[in-house]
Amino acid sequence: MAILLTGSTGYIGAHIASNLLAGHSEPLNLLVRARSEQEAQERLWRSLQLHLEFALFEEYLNSRVNIFRGDLTDAHFGLADDDYTRLVHTTDSIIHCAASLNRKSEKSCLNVNLRGTLEVIQLATRARDHHGLRRFSHVSTVAVAGQRLDEVVQEDTAIDWNRSDYDPYARTKKFCEHMVRQLLPDVQRTIFRPSIVLGDSRRPETNQFDMVRAFVFLAGLPALPFRPTARIDIVPVDFVADAVATLHQKERPAHEIYHLSSGTDSETFVELTDALSKAQGKRGPVFAPSLEGPSSKMVNALAGRAGKIGGLATLMKVFLPYLVWNTVFDNSRVVEEMGRRPAPFSQYCFPLLKFSRENNFLYKYRNWPPETSAHNASPEASAARDSGR
């Protein structure tokens, strides 16, 4: 039997897949959108090469990874009947990580987040009815808490249906949590809510640059329109992936919902800028909270325009609300269960900034080795994967 992981070619999903492959023994059923087996394997290699060498990747393809070429938003994921049946029959548990993070497009969020989650829930019910489902883990977001200001938010009181949402992403993810609870009442569930996921505390390399671009831009400004003592809840992706993989595999986690965040240990803007200034040997920025309103208006006016400035303004428009709310998300539950706290952003922010600048916000992907064709497993390996062993 295997763990079905959606979103394995995404940033957080690839870290979870790598964690499961390195630290656990179960096979993985991975849903990958591709037109051919070769394309599916190349997409998976592209997402996992940050974590492992090709030889080990190929070994996993031979032994523990089952690729199902499908689309989250299609009925039965667009799989042939035999493939869908095999996916149902070999899935022992599910980690649903795939999502649209397009905060500007309600259409994309509705399609991927709502329709896609419904398809995953339907597969979960079929697996449950066929042989039982051990656990359904859903990767959500702290943004389901809606518009906040100067708060410490607890897991069980985060969702308030009368509170306004920041964007379509937050709104649809809130409904996804609701669907999981309502439609899988008799399945063991775990809901994970990461805060702002930025960088890996173990290394400077990253292949996800959206939020990093905003961070690097702000780090280069002589003045910042923020309150210096306002806290910003940033968590490294390695802590998020480790928590998801560990608690998903735990027989009885203590709670149903976990904030994967820095919680009350979240650092203030001035703590972060002091750490960056010290690392770079230069003076820190001036803080001008009175410019928060005018800055927001300027960003909104420039967003959507052509060119680099318009693109950066569009990016800032998406993330600015999360930077000014001075709200953190209590993480005492996950800290207690994991026995450790996430690394503070100040410890690894400068290597991340340096890597991003030096590589012009690009990760140098390695191509599929030219002498290696699409993976053709032995009949024994294929039979093992098909049975989910």
Structure tokens, 343: 């690394």
Query: What is the reported pTM?
Result: 0.93
Q: Is 132 helix (H, G, I), strand (E, B) or coil?
A: coil
Residue 177, CB-side half-sphere exposure with 13 Å CA sphere: 25
More confident residue, 128 or 296: 128
Integer CA distances (angstroms), 205 to 80, 231, 351, 354, 362, in order? 38, 25, 8, 10, 10
Integer CA distances (angstroms), 370 to 39, 140, 357, 367, in order? 14, 38, 30, 8
Decide if 139 contacts 241 (C-beta within 8 A). Answer: no
Q: How many residues does the chain have?
A: 389
Decide if 233 contacts 327 (C-beta within 8 A). Answer: yes
Structure tokens, 171: 């709104």
Q: Report percent pLDDT > 90 for the chain.
A: 78
pLDDT tens digits for range 87-138: 999 999 999 999 987 766 788 889 899 999 999 999 999 999 999 999 999 9
State which amino acid sits at residue 9. Answer: T
Which domains are present in the chain?
2-197+235-262+327-343+375-387 (3.40.50.720)
More confident residue, 382 or 227: 227
pLDDT tens digits for range 194-217: 999 999 999 999 999 988 988 888
pLDDT tens digits for range 365-382: 999 998 776 554 433 334
State the Cα–Cα distance between residues 369 and 26, nearest whole angstrom: 27
pLDDT of residue 372: 72
pLDDT tens digits for range 5-59: 999 999 999 999 999 999 999 999 999 999 999 999 999 999 999 999 999 999 9
Around Cβ 114, how many Cβ atoms within 10 Å?
Answer: 18
Strand partners, 260: 194
pLDDT tens digits for range 180-192: 999 999 999 999 9
pLDDT of residue 374: 57
Backbone phi, psi, residue 59, to 5°: -65, -40
pLDDT of residue 50: 95
